[in-house]
Amino acid sequence: MPSANTLYSSPDLYDLFSTGVPGDTGYFARLAAGAGRVLELACGTGRTLIPMARAGAKVTGIELAPDMFKACRDKVAAAGLERKVTLHRGDMRRFALKQTFPLVVIPYRAFQHLLDVRDQRACLECCREHLTRQGRLVINLFDPNLNILAANLTHHGSAARNVGSVKTPDGGRITALATRVPCPEEQYVVEDWVFEKFDRQGNSQWRKSRVFSLRYFFRYEMEHLFELCGLRVEKLEGGFQGQPYRHGGEQVWTVRR
């Protein structure tokens, strides 16, 4: 098993570089407004949770990493949304909230942190238990791109790719370079992101490495997993802007109990 997801001990770095999938915050906000109440699993620092609350929904969030949880709580307070939001520090593989929801969401690949089939099933079964009879579960995953996976295998890990460069208030910048090591037997990749802070003269001030692992799921594997957990597929879309499902893009699943 790979080491822990250390990216989530640095919510500030997460927020700078993890900006989501195009259109996702608006998509979840519209769904949440329509449903009235929503449960978000692995809500992180509130990137999708806060827009759902701002759209008028009552939002319950579950988050495991203490630093992400605290950052989310602080942002909810700063936005004056405490009355709309309930946060629990907890694990998406095992939770019991004693209430059901018309909408449960797992945005931005968070489900892909569950590397083990038992954990995936435990999470989906918990989701099912927390859905109302007509309720919907929406999960976003990336669709494994066979070209990228094959290229990484050939090189025993990818070449470093530039994730981005963000200006800081002191006139400097923080850059992020990522490498990916695949484990095809277990169907996951380990991402190693190296962040580097430069001052306004371009001198390096610090470097930090943060890792995380993502399981990849093929389309019909997900269909089987849902069926095994008592969930039926309503639709599979290829993104948040009405795209059809295509290889190597996004998987946006809507399932019901």
Residue 125 is a binding residue for ligand SAM (CB under 6 A) = no
Residue 48 is a binding residue for ligand SAM (CB under 6 A) = yes
Query: What string marks each residue from 197 to 226 as x (binds ligand SAM by CB under 6 A) or -?
Result: ------------------------------
Residue 126 is a binding residue for ligand SAM (CB under 6 A) = no
Shortest reach from residue 243's CB to ligand SAM, in Å = 19
Query: What string marks each residue from 17 to 36 as x (binds ligand SAM by CB under 6 A) or -?
Result: -x-x----------------
- Out of 63, 143, 191, 237, the only residue in the binding site for ligand SAM (CB under 6 A) is 63
Shortest reach from residue 16's CB to ligand SAM, in Å = 12
d(CA 67, CA 77): 15
**Which parts of 64-103 interact with ligand SAM (CB under 6 A)?**
64-65, 68, 91-93
Residue 44 is a binding residue for ligand SAM (CB under 6 A) = yes
Using CB under 6 A as the criterion, which residues of the chain lie in contact with ligand SAM when the complex forms? 8, 18, 20, 42-44, 47-48, 62-65, 68, 91-93, 107-110, 113
